[in-house]
Amino acid sequence: MKCLLLTSFIVLALSFSLAAQEVDTVPIPVKDMQIKLKRSPLPSRIGTITFSTVELKPALVQAKINYWKTKATVGINANQASFSDNWKGGGVNSIAVGALLNHKAEYSKESYSYTSELILQYGKVKNKDQLQKKTSDRVYWDNKAAVQLSKNWYFFASLSFESQFDKGFSYSKDAQGNEVPKLLSKFMSPGYLTESMGFEYKPSKIFSTRIGTGTARQTFVLDTSIIKTNPKNFGVEKGKTVKNELAFQVVSNFEKEIMKNTILKAKYNMFIPYDDFGQIDHRLDIVATAKLNRFLNVSLTGVILYDKDMDLKVQRSQALALGASFTFPR
């Protein structure tokens, strides 16, 4: 009985609760009620906001993309020594002067590139009671256009020219002990013009290799009298001034800062004529330049050359110089 009464009481309580909820959710119309809202104490302004069209002029930036990168280096070095007549240590009065110009221009846009490099080098030394002698003499101009085929491979075409400024001599002495010069070479005797096309492998900025499968080289000896003192005549037949060759060529370049303010450059050239694979020409140029301060530097240069048309033995040259150099742009 008690359970029945308790159950009935719970049911009645829930009924009243549901009835109360239904009453609370009945909407009350307030349209006709006089309900006044309390005015805000904050001041207010009543006005009209007007909007007008504003014309914005585009800002033009006067910027141009420069696809060219150029660098020029001018170097001058000198060496001088003098001794009094009673100097017991021995020695000879001498003066040596050398100059170098290296200009490089590079153009790069999308997959196309062009590089032009000019090297002009000349130096002389004069010792007392001796003839003037050359210490360096070179004219070199290289041009290369390339199209990128993949990440590291390019198709290229190049044109290069090489010769010297001044006459070159070998020296001997006569019966009286005087020096006698013998003419060996001069400007355009020899001179080399090389056209090449093929593929270039360039995995990084410090190293590249050209593989010239189609290469032609013209060797010029315009002074026909040189054959009297230089019988090999740089491979050009007697009575002729030009020799044409078709060949396979490899040109490798390396340039890196091997230590702080010290740059090492190396260029290797291999030339194999198609009509004589046994005659391979090699040339290796190495230049190490250490910068002492803003203008002064020390440079060590070396050349190793093997060309049967010049000599059956390997030729070598080396020079160490201290001088001033100026690079543009800095």
Among 40-54, 137-151, 220-234, 265-279, name the one with the lowest average pLDDT.
Answer: 40-54
Burial class (CB in 10 A: 0-12, 13-18, 19+), 173: exposed
Grade residue 57 by pLDDT with cuts at 50, 70 and 90.
Answer: confident
For 222-312, list the strands marked E by DSSP: 242-259, 262-273, 281-291, 296-306
pLDDT surpassing 80 at residue 207: yes
Place of tokens 């002495």: 173
Share the mean pLDDT of the chain: 88
- 236 vs 144: CA distance, rounded Å: 27
Q: What is the dihedral of CA 232, 233, 237, 242, to 10 degrees?
A: 150
| Alpha helices (H) along the chain | 2-24
Place of tokens 């080399």: 192
Structural domains in the chain, CATH included, are 68-328 (2.40.230)
Q: What is the distance, to the nearest Å, from the Cα of residue 199 to the centroid of all Cα atoms in its chain?
A: 18
pLDDT value of residue 149: 97
One-letter identity of residue 170: S
Strand, helix or coil at 234? helix
How does pLDDT run across 115-127, given as a tens digit for each residue? 999 999 999 999 9
Classify residue 175 by its DSSP letter.
T
- 167 vs 124: CA distance, rounded Å: 12
How does pLDDT run across 152-168, given as a tens digit for each residue? 999 999 999 999 999 99
Q: Does pTM top 0.85 for this prediction?
A: no
